[in-house]
């Protein structure tokens, strides 16, 4: 690149930098490659998008704390949802889950007994093909958790 400050007859050029044709072609190629990478990322991300939600219902008479759900595909950890504290007789729901439907989840929670509880669930094997709905984890008074599948109805 070269810097031009004066043109013919001492007039000031408005162009501060001139770029030769090869550099323009390089910039165009970089722009095309960058655009391609963005489109590839968006397409890949859409392919991984899922049509399910995850909810946790606390059917106990006390707060449930430290609620987290670890997602596994095979033996590989894929991610975690952390609803945190859930008040008695209430629920939390994550509407859009950015993780593929897991083979297995480990559900963690702690009640007022201050003991950390965990329970594993096979998920993918119990879902109907093309499942589009909510995977609910319901905590009961006996420190038990059940999985309930609720298909989405309507548009």
DSSP assigned state of 10:
G
Each domain of the chain, given as residue ranges in start order, spans 2-48, 52-151
What's the rounded mean pLDDT across residues 66-88?
93
At 8 the pLDDT is 54
Is residue 68 scored above 70 in pLDDT?
yes
Q: What are phi and psi of 111, to 5 degrees?
A: -95, -170
At 96, is the pLDDT very low, low, confident or very high (cuts 50, 70, 90)?
confident
Is residue 30 scored above 70 in pLDDT?
no
CATH code for the domain defined by 52-151: 2.60.40.2890
pTM above 0.85, yes or no: no
At 47 the pLDDT is 42
């Amino acid at each position: 690149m070269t810097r031009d400050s004066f043109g013919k007859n001492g007039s000031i050029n408005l162009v501060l930098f001139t770029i030769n044709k090869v550099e323009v072609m390089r910039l165009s190629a970089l722009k095309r490659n960058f655009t391609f990478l963005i489109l590839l990322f968006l397409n890949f991300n859409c392919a991984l998008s899922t049509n399910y939600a995850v909810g946790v219902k606390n059917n106990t008479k006390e707060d449930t704390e430290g609620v987290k759900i670890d997602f596994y595909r095979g033996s590989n950890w894929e991610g975690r949802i952390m609803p945190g504290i859930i008040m008695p007789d209430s629920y939390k729901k994550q509407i859009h889950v950015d993780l593929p439907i897991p083979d297995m989840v480990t559900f963690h929670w702690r009640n007022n007994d201050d003991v950390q509880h965990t329970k594993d669930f096979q998920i993918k094997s119990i879902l109907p093909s093309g499942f589009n709905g909510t995977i609910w984890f319901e905590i009961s008074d006996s420190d038990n958790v059940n999985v309930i599948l609720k298909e989405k109805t309507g548009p």
